[in-house]
Structure 1
Amino acid sequence: MSTSQMLAPGAQSHPCFSPSAANRFGRIHLPVAPNCNLRCGYCDRRHDCVNESRPGVTSRILDPERALAHLGESRARMPFLSVVGIAGPGDPMAEPELTLATLELIRRHHPDLLLCLSSNGLGLADEVENLVDLGVDFVTLTINAVDPLIGSRIYDHIRLAGEIYRGVEAAGALLQRQIDAVVRLKARGVTVKINTVVIPEINDREVVAVARLAASLGADLMNLIGMIPVSGTPLEHHSPPTRSMLDALRTKAEEYLPQMTHCARCRADACGLTRDGADHSRAG
C-alpha cells in the first residue's frame, strides 16, 4: 500500500503527501505570515527575496484580501492547483488572525481546494479548533529534537505569552506545545506530517527518537530535510547532511513512520508543480 493510500482521501491530490500527485497537481503558498515566534539557528526569513529557493523566503508579504486575489489569478493560469498552503515566511500561528482570515476567505471563495498549514507548533494547539472549523485537513509540524539540551543548540529563543525564553527551558516548552498540537490535531482527524531538519553532529542522532515520539502521537508521515546553510545565521558554516546520511536516517525512521522523499523545500510563495524545480511566484 502506498503512503498516500494510508492517508486521508484528499492526499491523493496533495502533491506533498503523495508522490504520484506531485506529477499532476500543484500547490500555491500564500505568504501572509510575516513574523515568527521563535529563532532557529538555521533560518533567515526574507520578505523581498527573488533569488533563493528555500523555505522562509518570499518576494513580498500579502494581506488576506490580496492573497485571495493572487489565488484567483493563479488558478486562472494554473487550473491544476489543488492545494493552498500557508507556510510563512514566518510562522502562521505567530499572528494567527492573519492566517485565519486568509483561510476563511479561501474557504468561502474556493471551497474545492484543500487547505494546508506548516508550523513550528509553538502556537498551534490553541488554534486547532479554528483551523478544523475552516476545513484545514493537512498540517505539517517541524519537530527537530526530543531532548531539550539538543533543542537548545537549534533554537536561540521562543516567544510565548509575551515572554522570551531561552536555552533548555525554551526547547522543553516548545516540545510540550508541539506534542499538545499533534494530539489535538489527530483527535480532530487532521492528517499530520512531521518535518525534521537534519543538522549533522547536532540532531542527527535524534531523528529516530523524533520518529518514535511522533508515531506514538498518531502522526501520519515524516519528512527529513537536510539543513541548508544560510548566510547570516548561527549555523551558516555548519555542513549539511550528505545524501547517504539522509538515506540511512530515513531507513531507520521508517520503522516508525512512512517517509516522504520527494520534498521540494518550497519557498513561502511557491506556486505550480513541485516537480518543476525551484519554481516560485512573485506573489502579488
Structure 2
Amino acid sequence: MPRSFTELTDKHPCFGQHSAQTGRIHLPVCPGCNISCRFCERSINQTENRPGVAACVLKPEETVPLIRKALEIAPEITVAGIAGPGDTLATDNAIKTFRIVKREFPSLIKCMSTNGLLLSERAEELIELGIDSLTVTVNAVDPEIEAQLNDYVIYHGKKIEGVEGAKILIKNQLEGIRKIASAGITVKVNTVLVPRINGKHIADIAYAVAEAGAEKYNIIPLIPQAKLKNEPAPSCLDIDEARRAAGKYIELFLHCSRCRADAIGIPGKTDVSRQVYSLFPREMNFKENFSHG
C-alpha cells in the first residue's frame, strides 16, 4: 500500500510541516526524454542548480552504494526520488531502480516525477511497484496553449508536432493522474508559469488536475532558457496571481526549491551531493548528452 498523505506530510520534505528536518536523494537514472519542451535545457554539469541537470547519469544498479553512503552522511534522508534528468517513463530505468530501492531500502519513500506522456499506459506498473507519491508536470489543458510550450512528442516511436502532439500529451496526463490517484497514491502537479502563454490559464489547469485526483499544485516560475530564453521570468505579482487562481481549486505547494536531478539532502537547507558523489569517481556511468525518443 502507498504511504498515506498524512505519512507523507510527516516524512516527505516536499509535503509537510516537518520539511526542514527530512531529506531526499534524487537518483539521476533517466537519460532520455520523449517530449520537447520549449523552455527545457537539459545538461550534465556540476554547477547549475535547476531541474534537468545532473553531474552524471547512473545505471539502476549503481544507485545502491550511492544510497548507502548518502544515508551514512545524511541519515535524515527519508525519500528516494527520481526526477530525471530525462523523463522517468521514457525508459525503464526508473522502474528498475525503484524495484531495487524497494528491495534494498524498504523504509524509504518512493517518489517520482514525469511529464505524463506515458503515465496512463504505465500506471499499473507504478501502482504494482508501490510508488508513494507522483509529480506530473502539466503546463496546459488546452492543446493550443500546450503547443506554444512544447514543440512535439515522441509517442510510440512517432514524432507528433504541435497541437496534435499536445492533445495526446494532455489526454494521457489526465487519464494517468486519475489512475494513479484512484489507487491511493498522492499526486502533485507542477506547472511551469510562462505569463504570456499560460498565465491566464492556471485556473483551468488547477481545476482539471484537481478533478482528476491531484492533491497538491506547484507553480514553478519559468527559467528563461532554450527557445524561451527571451521570455521574461514571472514577477512576484505574476506568481501571486497564478497562486490565487489555482488556490480556488486545489491545495498549493509553496516551497519548491527547483532541485537538480541529483540533489541529496534537505531541500533548500543542505546538499551533500558533491560529498557523496566524490566517493564514487570511477563507478559512475557518465553520459554527455540526452536523446528524445
**Where on the TM-score scale, by shorter chain, does this alignment land: which range?**
over 0.9
1:101 matched to which residue of 2? 96
- For the 8 Å contact 1:68–1:102, the answer to whether it is kept is no
- For the 8 Å contact 1:8–1:191, the answer to whether it is kept is no
From 15, 20, 31, the counterpart of 2:28: 31
- For the 8 Å contact 1:157–1:166, the answer to whether it is kept is yes
| 2:76 matches 1:84 | no
- For the 8 Å contact 2:175–2:212, the answer to whether it is kept is no
- 1: CA distance between counterparts of 2:61 and 2:207? 41
| 2:40 matches 1:43 | yes
- For the 8 Å contact 1:22–1:275, the answer to whether it is kept is no
What aligned pairs does 1:1-284 form with structure 2 within 5 A after superposition? Answer: 7-18=5-16, 20-47=17-44, 49-95=45-91, 97-230=92-225, 233-276=226-269, 279=271, 281-282=273-274, 283=277, 284=280
The TM-score normalised by the length of structure 2 is: 0.90
For the residue of structure 2 that corresponds to 1:164, the secondary structure is strand
Stretches (4+) displaced over 6 A: none
AA matched with 2:12? H
1:3 matched to which residue of 2? none
- 2: CA distance between counterparts of 1:203 and 1:44? 19
AA matched with 2:234? P
- 2: CA distance between counterparts of 1:80 and 1:53? 21
Equivalences, count? 273
Q: Which runs of 5+ in 2 are unaligned?
A: 281-293
Shift of 1:8: 4.0
Shift of 1:212: 0.6
- For the 8 Å contact 2:8–2:15, the answer to whether it is kept is no
The TM-score normalised by the length of structure 1 is: 0.93
For the residue of structure 1 that corresponds to 2:152, the secondary structure is strand
AA matched with 2:26? H
AA matched with 1:264? S
- 2: CA distance between counterparts of 1:103 and 1:82? 14
AA matched with 1:252? A
Shift of 1:205: 0.8
- 2: CA distance between counterparts of 1:184 and 1:177? 10
Q: Name the CA shift for 1:90/1:204 in 2 (closer, same or farther; >3 Å).
A: same
Shift of 1:246: 0.5
- 2: CA distance between counterparts of 1:234 and 1:139? 28
Q: Which runs of 5+ in 1 are unaligned?
A: 1-5
* Cα shift readout 1:52-99 (whole Å, capped 9, x = no counterpart): 00000000000011112111110111100000100000000000x211
- 1: CA distance between counterparts of 2:255 and 2:27? 21
